[in-house]
Structure 1
Amino acid sequence: MLFVVGICVILLILLLMLKIPLPYCFGGALLFMYMFGGISMKSMMLWVFSQSISPVLLASPMFILAGSYMGGSGIATKLLDFVDSFIGRVKGGLGVVCIATCAVIGAISGSGFTGVAATGPVMIPRMVKQGYPRGYSTALVTVSSVLGLLIPPSGIMIIYGWVTETSILACFLSTVGPGLLITLLFCVINLIWSKKFDLVLDEPRAFNEKIKIAGRRGIVALPALLMPVIILGGIYGGVFTPTEAAAVAAIYSIPIGFWIYRNMNLKEFYRLTLDSLSSIGAIMAMIIFCLMLSQTFVLLKVPQAIIDVFFGMTSSRIVMLIIINIFLFVVGMIVNDATGMILCAPILLPLVLKLGINPIQFAAMMGVNLAMGGVTPPYASILYLGMRIGKCEFSEIFGPTMILLLFGYVPVVFLTTFWPALSLWLPGLFGYL
């Protein structure tokens, strides 16, 4: 039977390499398992229906909708202007503004795509005008947007909690430490790298004038600044669940875009809604097929076989954890973060439990690896979106992206794996351990 599973995995990889839409790739692999794996499709359909009616699953499409409305409402622009008023004169300060804004926007929407789509059209031209190379500017926006997968509320953490029956709030908290550390490393890398650029900085201003500008921009940005307070405060204050928070985020963006910032009209609102529904439909179909395929592997005892293979290869816990990280990173390079989470979490969880890894720590490990894989070719959908928005070639963006990942992400991958306190101290503080 493991031979059939191996053929199924090879078939899935081939379909992905042919750039066939993801739902069809997983649907084809599932059909193969139905034909040759002895799986009852009727029982599988009943099982996936019972899973798909979970209210938790509704959070992902709602965050997608919220992200689209945020991109069209002007929230990102106002946040950029406000933060820039404090450090606009610092060499490399605009890059720090970019990193922080992308992280906040991505976090609110729970998606890396939103960070690129909302801040890229505003941030990249502004950085280029100041003297940053276009490839570097695009790379910085792109890799910073992926922080939205780590800083709560994160869409993939909702999925992890759902498929592994782990507390979603604990999963949210587990990635805060790694996410903030990556943000800090990106800021340091940017400040050091910016010394090489011939940047055109703002004219010096008197202190009183700076205060006036910051105050004026702060008032304008207040509705945008209140959004993370409402969403995160509501979740951790127990006012509403992550699913309800996603709906609140979507609803909150509408009046902001229509009547406060006036960046949206009915035509734009219709377009954003239609684009979101199209994406939601494709993602939900992918989730259903991917969930069924993952459950098929579980029924065929693939997790137990993986455990036996790993312990047959080596008895070293450190080596096995390194192999797991490499595997997750490669998965992130091939498929998107949500797919990788649904496919790998239930399969690898028994193995990491046997290695003494807490499920909450494993959530952070998966989040960091899949986020890094999301901007690493060949899949790299977020990277390609950044290239389109930044209007730059792959040769321009590839070098800066790899350096940011090597010195910003890779160290945190190892720290998350071998220093449990990085991901567990905050969940423990809230009583989840």
Structure 2
Amino acid sequence: MMSTVIISLLVVVACLTLGVPLPFCFGGGLMVMSILGGATMKGMMLWGLGQITNPVLLCVPLFIFAGTLMSESGIAKYLLDFVNVFVGRMRGGLGVVASISCAIIGAISGSGFTGVAATGPILIPRMEQEGYPRGYATALVTDSSILGLLIPPSVVMIVYGWVTETSILACFLATVGPGLLITFLFALINVIWARKFDLKLEPKLPPKEKWNEIKRRTRLALPALMMPFIILGGIYGGIMTPTEAAAVAVIYSIPVGFFVYKGLTLKNFYEIAWNSATSVGAILIMILFCLMLSQTYVMLRVPQALVQVIFDITQNKVVLLVMINILLFFVGMIVNDITGVILIAPLLLPLVQAIGIHPIQFAAIMGVNLAMGGVTPPYASILYLGMRIGKVEFMEIVKPAMILLLLGYVPVVFLTSFWPDLSLFLPRLLGYL
């Protein structure tokens, strides 16, 4: 039976290499399993449809819709202006604005795409006017956008909690520490790196004028700033489930976009709804096939076989964690984060539990590794989106993007793996462990 599993995996890898759309890659692997006797297609389809109608998954389309509304409505612009008034006039301040703004936007949308789509068109030209190279500005905004996958509520953590049957709220909290640390490191690296650029800074405001500007921008940004407080406060206060919070985010964004910031019109609202629906359709089809393939592996006891094979190689916890991180990094390079979670989490969870890793810590390990894949070729969907928004060539963005990852992101990947308290401190503090 293991030969059937290996053949199906080879089909999946071959399809990914040839650029076949993701749902059909996993559908091909599932078909091989069905033909060779590893699974019955009818039974798996009925099981998969039962799973994909789970109310928990309703978070995914709702947060995607909320993030797109936020991007188009003007909410992101006022958030940027609010952050900019505090640090925008210092040397390297606009880069700090990029990192912090993407973290805030991540706390609203749960998506990496929203960060670059919402902040890129505003920040990249402004950074270029101040003297940043356009390739560097695009790389910083793009890399910072993956914070949306870590700062809660995170769609990836919702899917992980659903697949592994662990607390979604605890999974949310597990990535807060790594996400905030990456935000700080990106901002610090930018401040140091900005010394090399000939920046044209705006003159600093006198204290009285700055205070008046802070009050003015706070007043304008207040409706936007209320979103993360409502969403996160509702979730952790026990008032709303993550699905209900996602619905509230959509309901809140619509009147704010139409009547407060007036970035929404009937025409672009229809386009936003249409684009969100097509994105959600593609994602859910991919989740269905990936989930079915993953379940066939679980039924054939592939996780247990994988644990035995790896333990035959080594039982050293440090070596095993390094191997797991390398595997997750390569998975993130070829598939998106949601697919990686559905496919890999059920396979590796027995292994990490066998070496004493808590499932909530493993949620953070998977989150930081797979998020990195969004800006790491060949998959690098967020990187390619950033290139289009920043209007730069691949060679202009790849060097600064990889340096930022190497210095500001990779260290946090290993800290998350080898320092459990980074991801488990908040869940313990709030009583989720």
Measured against the shorter chain, the TM-score band is: over 0.9
Runs of 4+, deviation exceeding 6 Å: none
2:318 matches 1:318: yes
Displacement of 1:387 after TM fit? 0.4
2:377 aligns with: 377
1:407 aligns with: 407
Paired amino acid for 2:54: S
Paired amino acid for 2:141: V
Confirm or deny: 8 A CA contact 1:22 1:286 kept in the other structure.
yes
Q: How does 1:198-217 map to 2 (within 5 A)?
A: 198-217=198-217
Displacement of 1:2 after TM fit? 1.6
Displacement of 1:212 after TM fit? 1.1
> 2:409 is paired with a residue of what secondary structure?
helix
1:309 aligns with: 309
Paired amino acid for 1:51: Q
> 1:201 is paired with a residue of what secondary structure?
coil
How many pairs does the alignment contain?
433
For residues 101 and 205 of structure 2, the distance between their equivalents in structure 1, rounded to whole angstroms, comes to: 24
Confirm or deny: 8 A CA contact 2:332 2:370 kept in the other structure.
yes
Moved more, 360-369 or 423-432: 423-432
Displacement of 1:49 after TM fit? 2.4
Displacement of 1:50 after TM fit? 2.3
In percent, how many aligned pairs have the same letter?
66
For residues 205 and 106 of structure 2, the distance between their equivalents in structure 1, rounded to whole angstroms, comes to: 32
Paired amino acid for 1:19: G
For residues 37 and 321 of structure 1, the distance between their equivalents in structure 2, rounded to whole angstroms, comes to: 34
2:428 matches 1:428: yes
Displacement of 1:106 after TM fit? 2.1
Confirm or deny: 8 A CA contact 1:107 1:149 kept in the other structure.
no
1:259 aligns with: 259
> 1:374 is paired with a residue of what secondary structure?
helix
1:2 aligns with: 2
2:110 matches 1:110: yes
2:75 aligns with: 75
The verdict on how the C-alpha distance between 1:5 and 1:83 changes in structure 2, with shifts beyond 3 A counting, is same
Displacement of 1:42 after TM fit? 2.2
Paired amino acid for 2:285: A
2:361 aligns with: 361
* Per-residue CA distance 1:126-180 (angstroms, 9 max, x = gap): 1111111111111111111101111100000000000000000000011111111
1:221 aligns with: 221
> 2:376 is paired with a residue of what secondary structure?
coil
> 2:62 is paired with a residue of what secondary structure?
helix
Paired amino acid for 2:23: P
2:285 aligns with: 285
RMSD, matched Cα:
0.9
Displacement of 1:38 after TM fit? 2.9
Paired amino acid for 2:383: L
1:56 aligns with: 56
For residues 205 and 114 of structure 1, the distance between their equivalents in structure 2, rounded to whole angstroms, comes to: 32
Q: How does 1:125-136 map to 2 (within 5 A)?
A: 125-136=125-136
Confirm or deny: 8 A CA contact 1:303 1:348 kept in the other structure.
yes
1:163 aligns with: 163
Paired amino acid for 1:332: G
Paired amino acid for 2:260: I
* Per-residue CA distance 1:378-413 (angstroms, 9 max, x = gap): 000000000000000100110111111111111111
For residues 430 and 169 of structure 1, the distance between their equivalents in structure 2, rounded to whole angstroms, comes to: 10
Tell me, which stretches of 5 or more residues in structure 1 are unaligned? none
1:331 aligns with: 331
Paired amino acid for 1:392: V
Displacement of 1:333 after TM fit? 0.5
* TM-score, normalising length: structure 2: 0.99
Paired amino acid for 2:234: G
1:143 aligns with: 143
* Per-residue CA distance 1:309-329 (angstroms, 9 max, x = gap): 111111211111100000001
For residues 139 and 38 of structure 2, the distance between their equivalents in structure 1, rounded to whole angstroms, comes to: 46
For residues 37 and 254 of structure 2, the distance between their equivalents in structure 1, rounded to whole angstroms, comes to: 48
* Per-residue CA distance 1:178-208 (angstroms, 9 max, x = gap): 1111111111101100110111111232111
For residues 235 and 432 of structure 2, the distance between their equivalents in structure 1, rounded to whole angstroms, comes to: 15
For residues 57 and 85 of structure 1, the distance between their equivalents in structure 2, rounded to whole angstroms, comes to: 38
Confirm or deny: 8 A CA contact 2:114 2:145 kept in the other structure.
yes
2:388 aligns with: 388
2:397 aligns with: 397
Confirm or deny: 8 A CA contact 2:99 2:183 kept in the other structure.
yes
Paired amino acid for 2:369: N
For residues 38 and 12 of structure 1, the distance between their equivalents in structure 2, rounded to whole angstroms, comes to: 15
> 2:200 is paired with a residue of what secondary structure?
coil
1:38 aligns with: 38
For residues 110 and 206 of structure 1, the distance between their equivalents in structure 2, rounded to whole angstroms, comes to: 37
For residues 312 and 185 of structure 1, the distance between their equivalents in structure 2, rounded to whole angstroms, comes to: 38
For residues 79 and 238 of structure 1, the distance between their equivalents in structure 2, rounded to whole angstroms, comes to: 26
Confirm or deny: 8 A CA contact 2:38 2:296 kept in the other structure.
no
Confirm or deny: 8 A CA contact 1:59 1:246 kept in the other structure.
yes
For residues 276 and 141 of structure 1, the distance between their equivalents in structure 2, rounded to whole angstroms, comes to: 22
2:152 aligns with: 152
> 1:315 is paired with a residue of what secondary structure?
coil
* TM-score, normalising length: structure 1: 0.99
For residues 185 and 121 of structure 1, the distance between their equivalents in structure 2, rounded to whole angstroms, comes to: 23
> 2:20 is paired with a residue of what secondary structure?
coil
For residues 151 and 13 of structure 2, the distance between their equivalents in structure 1, rounded to whole angstroms, comes to: 30
For residues 20 and 82 of structure 1, the distance between their equivalents in structure 2, rounded to whole angstroms, comes to: 43
Paired amino acid for 2:324: I
For residues 416 and 71 of structure 1, the distance between their equivalents in structure 2, rounded to whole angstroms, comes to: 30
Confirm or deny: 8 A CA contact 1:106 1:113 kept in the other structure.
no
1:90 aligns with: 90
Displacement of 1:209 after TM fit? 0.8
For residues 403 and 197 of structure 1, the distance between their equivalents in structure 2, rounded to whole angstroms, comes to: 16
For residues 102 and 70 of structure 1, the distance between their equivalents in structure 2, rounded to whole angstroms, comes to: 12
For residues 311 and 142 of structure 1, the distance between their equivalents in structure 2, rounded to whole angstroms, comes to: 38
Displacement of 1:88 after TM fit? 2.0
Paired amino acid for 1:87: V
Moved more, 171-180 or 49-58: 49-58
For residues 394 and 382 of structure 1, the distance between their equivalents in structure 2, rounded to whole angstroms, comes to: 13
